[in-house]
Every structure is written in structure tokens, then in C-alpha cells.
Structure 1
Amino acid sequence: MTGFQNPAQLDRFIFWPPAINRGEYWRLISHGFVHADGQHLLFNMITLFFFGRVIEQAFAGYIGPLGYAAFYIAAILVAILPSYFQHRNDARYRSLGASGAVSAVLFAYILIAPWSTIYVFFFPVPAIVYGGLFTAYGLYASRLGHDHINHSAHLWGAGFGVLFTLCLEPRLGPVFLERLMQPGAGF
């Protein structure tokens, strides 16, 4: 779904606290399936295309393909809950997009392959460096709050991706730390 193609659809599915307070709880999930514009949708889908396949495969032995879908939907919910609690009485606040869930997928990938290369606007960056920069920028931009981007959802989604992955395979924590000490190891 894309909200930029159908404004009425956007109004029905966007995260909007007053509607949730009235019992429209589906908005806690549905906001992850509408996007502001083509660029927003494209960026999320490209990220999901490259990293989602790897994570779906990594999770398949533990929870299967339906489990991966459940992980993704849970990430949409977990990523938006802090925004709901912060803005539950703010009728002006709205949020949309799958970025929280996409961040969960991306950070699960970073946990598994910290030294793999991620291309950011065609520039190669080690995944762990990108993760650190992404987190630092998210914290900084979240404090400013001037860009109409829900950085909180990005950060909570990223944290959920890491935590979920560690709960799924606790041995990955020490493996991640070991991999951090081997920068040339790649994926």
C-alpha cells in the first residue's frame, strides 16, 4: 500500500494517536504499510530487498518463513509503541512507513555480519560503522525533531531487531563480539 497514491487510504491507516485512543488499534500496524512518497517507499524496499532475504534465510531454521513475517509485523508494532506513549494526547502527531521494521531487519543483519559491506549511496561502508552512524544520527536528529521523520521508530526498530535475534540465537552475542575483533573477516 502506498498512501501517496490514495489520500483517503492514508487517512485510514496512518499512525494517529487520537484514532488509536478511540479503538482503531490496527493503526499500530497499518502505518507500516503506507508511505509518504515514492522515495520513502523505494528506500525502505531496497533496504528490505538486500537485507531481508538474508535475515529471512537466517531465521528460517528457527521460526520459518511465517515466523519471519511475524517478526517483521512485530517490529512495526514495537518500533511505534514509544511514539504512541510519548504522543498519545497529541492530535497533531502522525507517523507512517515501514522504517522501524526495516531497521529491525537491517540491525539483525549487522549483528550477524558486522564487517560486511553496506553501500550507502554507492559508497562502501562496513555494516557496524553504518550501524553506529545510523544510531548516532538517529539520537541527534530525534533531539532536534525538525525533519518530520520518526527517528524514535528507527531506533526502537533497530533495538528490537538486535534483541529478537539474540533471543532467537543467544550464542550470537559472543560470536558478534568475536567478529568485531576480526575487521577483515567480512560476511
Structure 2
Amino acid sequence: MGRLTEAVKHLLIINVLFFIATQLYGDQLYAWFSLWYPENPNFKWWQVFTHMFMHGNFMHILFNMYALWAFGTPLEKMWGRNKFLFFYFSAGLGAALLHTGVNYFLFHDGLQALVDAGIDKNQVLEIISDGKYSPAWENVVGADTVDSFISAFTTPAVGASGAIYGILVAFAFTFSEAELMLIFLPIPIKAKYFVPLLILGDLFFGFTGTATGIAHFAHIGGALFGFLMMWYWKKNQFNDNRWN
């Protein structure tokens, strides 16, 4: 930790500026820069990048930026700016990819269930594209299926959490014996146990759907891509000189 490194400092600044802007012009900026489901009319290609700088509320950005500073700083000191930024954005893109893939499954699973029940596909798409849905659908395929179907299409993803989870995995790889503490469990836990514990929590909540409003599969995607990059770099002894 300690003094801010260059990339971490600039990421913090950009995130804070985006957050201030959303407090002034929230609805329009969320529509432009959040990550929407690709079949939603609000989707734009740049959102796979810009959603990493959007946050839902003060506590959301506070925890993410603290983690970026606390875990990203030692990694940038070790890797250098270019390698750190490559890793950070790659993990964020991995998070967007898995999150979107899960939403694709949920959306088309629900859509197919409605079509199989005899409801016209074009009618369903027209209704949902207007930001609406028919309560009668719940009687046909069940409330849980409809909730997942609607949420996948209409709920945008925001936040640096996916990239941060990649950073957490890299930190656990590199500083495995460092002792960390969970806020709700103030007992020192080594990083090699702490980070997997967080990921297991996201897996549980993601598959059970018992904690809504959080893009758990984005967290898992960032962690997965972070793990794959760390594994590849370690296995191939990636040449740090290429990042200079």
C-alpha cells in the first residue's frame, strides 16, 4: 500500500469524476455508460469499458476504490503501470463477458418458456423493449422465471467490482501469506484463504439468487480471468520487459 502509484491514482480520479457526474446527470449517464444487455435498445459497444467507472451509490464506489488502492498499489509497484492496466481492464472485460453470458442464458431461457407456453415471441419482445411486462406471464411460467428474464434484459451493470476481483486474485497469488480481515468477521485471514472465501460467497449468492442487486457473476468473471492471467504469466514466466 502506501503512496499512490500512477495508474491507481488516475483510475481513482476517473472513477470519482464519473461518480460526481452521475450525481448531477444520473439518469442520462446511466443510460449511456452502464452495461446493458446486448439485445436491449440501450446497449452501446463502449459500455463494456465505461461500466467499470460507474457506481450505484457512495458505499459502492467507496469499497471499490478502497480495494483498488489497498490491493492494486502493491501490484502496480511490482508490475509497472502498463502491465497493471492491461490486467485491470482484462479482468473487467472478463467480468462483463461472463455477466452478459449468464444474462443471455436467463433471458432466452425465459423467452423460450413463454414461447413454449403459446405466447407470441414478437409480442413479448415488443412489450419488454418498452420497459414493461405482463403479470400474466407469471401465471404461465412462474414468477422466478419471469423475474430472471426481466432482470437480465432491463437491469444494467455498473461498477469496477469485476476488475477489482481480478486484482484480489492477483494479490492472493502474489502475497498469499498477507493477513486480511472481513468487516463482519474481524479475524485476520491469509489472502490465499480470504479471496477464495469471497468468491465462494458470490458463487453461492449467484446460483441461489438470494442476494439481489449485485452482479455476482461479474465478480466471478473478473476473478476467473484474473486467475487465468496469473496462471498463464506464472507458467510462461511472462517477460516484464515487454510492458516497458
- The correspondence of residues 40-59 of structure 1 with structure 2, limited to 5 A, is 40-59=60-79
Distance 1:129 1:13, change over 3 A: same
Q: CA deviation at 1:166?
A: 2.2
1:33 match: 53
Match of 1:135 among 199, 203, 217: 199
Alignment of 1:1-187 (within 5 A): 1-2=18-19, 4-5=22-23, 6-7=25-26, 8-18=28-38, 24-60=44-80, 65-88=81-104, 89=107, 90-121=152-183, 122-145=186-209, 146-170=211-235
Name whichever of 85-94 and 159-168 sits farther off.
85-94
Aligned length: 168
Check the 8 A contact 1:4/1:37 in 2, yes or no.
no
Deviation at 1:171, TM superposition (A): 7.0
2:121 aligns with none
Larger Rg: 2
Where does structure 2 lack aligned partners over 5 or more consecutive residues?
1-17, 108-151, 238-244
Please list every run of 5 or more consecutive structure 1 residues that lacks an aligned counterpart in the other structure.
173-187
Q: Return the TM-score normalized by structure 2.
A: 0.63
1:97-154, Cα deviation, whole Å (9 max, x unpaired): 0000001001101011222111322542211221221121111100122421011111
Q: Compare 161-170 and 38-47 and name the one that shifted more.
A: 161-170
Indicate the percent of aligned positions where both proteins have the same amino acid.
26
Give deviations 1:34-74, integer Å, cap 9, x for gaps.
Answer: 000010000001111011011112222xxxx1231122112
Residue identity opposite 2:90 in structure 1: A
CA distance 1:20–1:28, change in 2 (3 Å)? farther
Structure 2 SS opposite 1:124: strand
Shift of 1:155: 1.2
Tell me the CA shift for residue 23 of structure 1. 6.6
CA RMSD of aligned residues (A): 2.2
Are the equivalent residues in 1 in contact too, given 2:33–2:54 (CA < 8 A)? yes
In the superposition, the TM-score normalised over structure 1's length comes to 0.80
> Using the alignment, how far apart are the partners of 1:20 and 1:68 within structure 2?
32
Alignment partner of 2:235: what SS? coil
